[in-house]
Amino acid sequence: MKTIRQQGNILQSVRYPSNKVFSTVLVISIGIVNLFVFLPYLRGELLIGWDTPIYMYSVFYVEKYGVAATFTTGVIDKPLFALILCGFSKLSGSSEQLLKVTPMIFASLYIASIFLLSREGSHDSSLAALTALLSSCAFATLRLANEVQPHFLALSFMMISMFFHLKYVNSGNKRYAIFSMIATLFMFGIHPLAYGMYIVILVISFLMARVKRSQRCKREMIGTIACIIPLAGVMLFLLFTSLTPVVILAESLLHPRVISLGTSHRKLVTDLTLCIPLLIFSAVGVAVLLRSKRDTFRRMLLAWTLSFSLALLLCTLLGTTFANRFVVTLPLPILVAYGYRGWPKKAHLKYFILIAILVMNFSIATRYQLDVKPWIDKELRDELVWVRENLGDKIIVPVCPFGAAANGYWVSGIVGDYIYYGEVLPLLARKPESYYGYPGLDTNLYWKRLQDDGVLKNLAEYKIVLVGGVYLLGVVDEQIAERVENHDIYIVNQSIVSNESKIDYYYQIWRKFKDTKIAIIGEDRATTKKILYELWISPVPAWLVIPQNIEDLGTARLPVFNNSNKYDLLILTDWNANQDKKEAEKLLRYFTEGCAIVATSQSVYELYNGSPQIVEEIFGIEKAYPSSVDDSNITYCCQHYVTSYISIPLESTGAECGVPVSNLTNAKGIATVASSDELYLLVINQRNETRAAHFGLRLSEMNENDVVIFKRLLLWALHLEDCLK
């Protein structure tokens, strides 16, 4: 009989248990998990998940470049997963619609695989049914379905491989070892890191065996070797085709994507908190496993828990971006099921604990899925679809600043090739910038792709498209790009893209603009920096990395001038110089050395009380007055570069107080106090090639029009009028 069973149809091993109750629980569990997975799409149509657009691009890449390129070029880091998605897309017709369905398919496979594994390992259908039910409403399951579909699918194949591995160890039927090896091969192609962790689990499990000469242990060793064979086969294949994927994988392991330790810990704490209902009783399950007889499955569970916990600890200490994934891939539902079966003994208490765990799980899962938000808004998604449908294949979409890194992924997912992280002028000039500071983003990879594919050599054949929400235009960009009617989309003028002399002209303007070194001193520094960041747009957000060209000197005293602190522009933003002549003398030294000076609010009045002669030397005025409510209304009365975009005269209000000046010697008055033609609130002065200006309003009180004029004033002071015409 035993021989007949072994030679029977192997598919019998994956049938549901004969007891209809357990089959019903499995079906209900699959239904529950699918309901939770689809819940976000009942509220909106936009796709969720940070990596989701990467999966969309994988489908695009397979369809455009073929299967061979997908596996050998290294552009797609999970080629088999891309191939699986591409196969599904043939049925759905749209990768966007497909990626709403695949999480439910993978979730169903996950629940079925964890049920089969638990049933085979424990020989207990009730434990397997409980495991499936706990998994269906677990935060970890939904987190995997929403965010990391390849890892989710690989985890399912890992449990399927474990299932067949256990069947082989228990029965000795070699066909099970072959099926385990095939499942492992799929896992390796879908997610190499998950495959590596699985091999670690098998090895540790074997080493934990007490009697290694038994037939079962020998079969366990053979099964482990069988699971390593796919790695050898893939390496042999790549040896004769292309080692690029191996090199890229090795680099990603040796140099993992790292964020700050604080961010890594916050993400980890969040996931641990949401897993608390299962974590508490999984500890009980571990205790039960340690006390009981350690058969193959129990050893595998302990090895799984131990290896993933150590990996979690190591990745957390390194601050890697994927540290928290080891929380959601722990076998918590299985451990909880073991804990529930082994403790406590009182039936009523056990039922109460089970109901409490399920209620907490359901509550957390519901809240988590309802709070999930897409990483792209509908307006941007529609704009990208318009780009894809109307601008052809040969386009490049720059992404800058990098705060829109997620939107950059959506560009790839919706539009396809090519994206470029950085500003437009370096791209046109073929002179890559060294951008740094944004976690997990290597901008050189995208530049290298443009080089390797010959795009940079034939740049004139491509349209460079600047999409609002993905790219924030700078002052120079506005001169070289034309807006598409009825869209927040700009296309770089093709006559510039194809003309090297024009590219060089605008690049030199941009280079001078970007290399400007600015220092700020005074009380109103926060507002000043906000305005500067709007003008000098930093590719890496200022909250991550402080721009190197902008220096904050505080509120008190100027540093003594030397070559190490030589600035192009010094902004005195409501600076209280304490009527100190020495501070005025230091400021004069900066001015005589070629540093432009722009003063706002009471800065000039404080300097005037310290040294009227120096104020006259720098600003070209003989008299400054204290702040006054009566002098807050301003009238722009003189045509100049800073007022060239408005009609003169123009009255402006909004500031609480103004600091006027009079008796201009060398200065030119641009704006007066509204009630007087002799009191000026905006004056400019130039001695030799160095420029200075006084703007008598406080920056934090300026209205929108005043701020625009202040920005133009900064460009004028720096001789950068060509940046903004």
For residue 83, the cross-strand partners are none
Q: Which pLDDT score is estimated for 481?
A: 92
Q: Strands 463-467, 395-399: parallel, antiparallel or unpaired by DSSP?
A: parallel
pLDDT of residue 281: 85
Q: What is the mean pLDDT of residues 289-303?
A: 86
- Tell me the mean pLDDT in the region 375-402: 90
pLDDT at 663: 92
Q: What is the pLDDT of residue 9?
A: 44
If you average pLDDT over residues 515-519, what whole number do you get?
93
Q: What is the mean pLDDT of residues 81-104?
A: 86
| Of residues 146, 157, 155, 159, the one with CA closest to residue 55 | 146
Cite the beta strand spans of 380-479 per DSSP E: 395-399, 419-421, 463-467
The count of C-alpha atoms lying within 13 angstroms of the C-alpha of 556, restricted to the half-sphere facing its C-beta, is 2
pLDDT value of residue 114: 95
pLDDT at residue 11 is higher than 50: no
| pLDDT (0 to 100) of residue 440 | 65
Residues in the chain: 725
Q: What is the mean pLDDT of residues 367-386?
A: 90
The stretches of 292-392 forming alpha helices (DSSP H) are 296-318, 325-328, 332-342, 347-371, 378-390
As beta bridge partners, residue 400 has 471
Give yes or no for residue 15 having a pLDDT over 50. Answer: no
pLDDT at residue 7, rounded to an integer: 40
Instruction: Give dist(CA 235, CA 230) in Å, integer.
Output: 8
Q: Would you state the pLDDT for residue 201?
A: 92
d(CA 405, CA 458): 26
Contacts of residue 161, Cβ cutoff 8 Å, sequence gap at least 6:
180, 181, 183, 184, 187, 198, 227
What would the mean pLDDT of 581-604 be, rounded to a whole number? Answer: 92
DSSP letters for 501-520 = HHHHHHHHHHHHHHT--EEE
CA-to-CA dists, residue 422 to 259, 433, 443, 510, angstroms: 20, 8, 8, 13
Mean pLDDT for 138-161 is 93
Q: What pLDDT score does 216 carry? A: 82
Instruction: Give the tens place of pLDDT for each residue, 642-676.
Output: 998 888 888 887 778 889 999 999 999 999 998 88
pLDDT band of residue 404 (cuts 50, 70, 90) is: low
Q: Given a cut of 60, is residue 68 above it in pLDDT? A: yes
Percent of the chain past pLDDT 70, that is, above it, reads 90
Residue 542: predicted pLDDT: 74
What distance, in Å, lies between the first and last C-alpha atoms of the chain? 91
- Residue 322's contacts (CB-CB under 8 Å, 6 or more residues apart) are 256, 257, 315
Say what the pLDDT of residue 4 is: 40
Q: Which pLDDT score is estimated for 248?
A: 58
Give the pLDDT score at 409.
85
CA–CA separation, 59 and 41 (whole Å): 21
**Residue 681 to residues 174, 662, 673, 676, 692, Cα–Cα distance (Å):** 90, 9, 6, 11, 14
Split at pLDDT 50, 70, 90, the class of 321 is low
What is the pLDDT, as a whole number, of residue 215? Answer: 82
Q: Which pLDDT band holds residue 35 (cuts at 50, 70, 90)?
A: very high
347 — pLDDT class (breaks 50, 70, 90): low
Average pLDDT over residues 588-616: 92
Q: Where are the alpha helices (DSSP H) in 559-698?
A: 581-592, 603-610, 612-619
Which range (3-7, 401-405, 533-537) has the least confidence? Answer: 3-7
Give the tens place of pLDDT for each residue, 151-202: 999 999 999 999 999 999 888 888 999 999 999 989 988 988 888 889 999 9
Check residue 319 and give its pLDDT: 66
The model's pLDDT over 197-214, given as tens digits with 9 standing for 90+, comes to: 899 999 998 888 876 667
CA distance 571 to 519: 6
pLDDT at 3: 44
Query: Taking the CB of residue 419, how many other CB atoms lie within 10 A of it?
Result: 22
Report, as an integer, the average pLDDT of 548-555.
87
pLDDT above 60 (res 16):
no
**Which tokens belong to 557?**
């005293």
Instruction: Report which of residues 62 and 404 the model is more confident about.
Output: 62
Q: What are 237-259's pLDDT values in tens digits?
A: 656 555 565 555 555 555 555 55
Q: Give the up-direction half-sphere exposure of residue 96: CA atoms within 13 A in the CB hemisphere.
A: 13
At residue 398, the pLDDT reads 92
pLDDT at residue 10, as a whole number: 41
Cβ neighbours, 10 Å, residue 61 = 21
